[in-house]
Chain A
Amino acid sequence: DGGITQSPKYLFRKEGQNVTLSCEQNLNHDAMYWYRQDPGQGLRLIYYSQIVNDFQKGDIAEGYSVSREKKESFPLTVTSAQKNPTAFYLCASSVRVMWNTEAFFGQGTRLTVV
């Protein structure tokens, strides 16, 4: 079945560590996105990519990094510079830029700092 796969579902990070969240899609979509979700805050955009080898910062990119080497994959690294990384992270994709088309979301990764 076509869709978006995020892994792992749960992730624990120690202080000072970098961790990488995986996002893979087999929908042949050009655009991919990372959102952060905190209780009562809605979704906030971290990074997005409209095409392979290109990505743009969203509203809260500090402390995060991404790469887009393949159309299917858009991994997110949460670096030690992110001071409050505990959150629910959602990856999404769309045929083209999201604002005028449907976005498809993964099941999310819950990251906890221990």
Chain B
Amino acid sequence: AQSVTQPDIHITVSEGASLELRCNYSYGATPYLFWYVQSPGQGLQLLLKYFSGDTLVQGIKGFEAEFKRSQSSFNLRKPSVHWSDAAEYFCAVGAGYGGSQGNLIFGKGTKLSVKP
């Protein structure tokens, strides 16, 4: 069955430091991969997506992610974190078949805190 694992429940980084959020997926075919961000009490906003082609994808707010098929990973990165990046981040895989056909399978999220 398809699944998404975000190993880190909570990460704290200093403002201006670099950031990497980890995401591993299990999927039997070429995956469609997404990163969403959620501010407290709000809905989710798409940061970036990978469908095919270049394995390094750029998103909004200065984020990027790299798809590594050999490691089944899709880690999110940002060179310099801003205080406004504090939020919860969700990795998701598109389930083109199986029990959740037509829908996204979400990881459990990583909460990012930013120290001044």
Selected contact of B43 from candidates A44, A48, A58, A107, CB within 8 Å = A107
Within 8 A of A (CB), among B50-100: 51, 90, 94-96, 99-100
In the complex, A43→B45 CA distance in Å?
14
The secondary-structure label for the interface of chain B is loop
Within 8 Å of chain B (Cβ to Cβ): is A59? yes
Closest to A57 in B: B99
CA distance A50 to B103 in the complex (A): 10
CB pair B100–A58 under 8 Å, yes or no, is yes
Determine whether the beta carbon of A42 is less than 8 Å from that of B103: no
The distance in angstroms between the C-alpha atoms of A45 and B92, with both chains bound, is 13
Q: How large is the interface on A (under 10, 10 to 19, 20 to 34, 35 or more residues)?
A: 20 to 34
How far, in angstroms, from A106 to B41 measured CA to CA in the complex?
Answer: 11
User: Is the beta-carbon distance between A41 and B99 smaller than 8 angstroms?
Assistant: no
Interface centre among B32, B46, B49, B102 (most CB of A within 10 A): B102
Residues of A within 8 A of B32 (CB): 99-100
What's the tally of chain B residues with a CB closer than 8 Å to chain A?
25
Q: Known contacts A50-B102, A59-B99, A99-B102; decide if A105 and B45 are in contact (CB<8 Å).
A: yes
Query: Residue A33 at the B interface, CB < 8 A?
Result: yes
> Which residues in A have their C-beta under 8 angstroms from that of B96?
99-100
When the two chains form their complex, are residues A97 and B102 in contact, meaning their CB atoms are under 8 A apart? Answer: yes
Contact B103 A102 (CB under 8 A): no
Q: Which residues of B contact A105 (CB under 8 A)?
A: 36, 43-45
Which chain A positions have C-beta within 8 A of B106?
42-44
What are the 9 A-B residue pairs with the smallest beta carbon separation, nearest first? A99-B94, A97-B102, A105-B43, A42-B108, A43-B106, A105-B44, A42-B106, A107-B43, A100-B32
Q: List residues of B whose CB falls within 8 A of some A CB.
A: 9, 32, 36, 41-46, 49, 51, 90, 94-96, 99-104, 106-109
User: Knowing that A40-B109, A99-B94, A103-B46 are A-B contacts, what are 17 other residue pairs whose CB atoms are under 8 Å apart, sorted by A's residue number?
Assistant: A4-B43, A33-B103, A41-B108, A43-B44, A43-B104, A45-B100, A45-B103, A48-B103, A59-B99, A92-B43, A97-B101, A98-B103, A103-B104, A105-B36, A105-B43, A105-B44, A108-B42
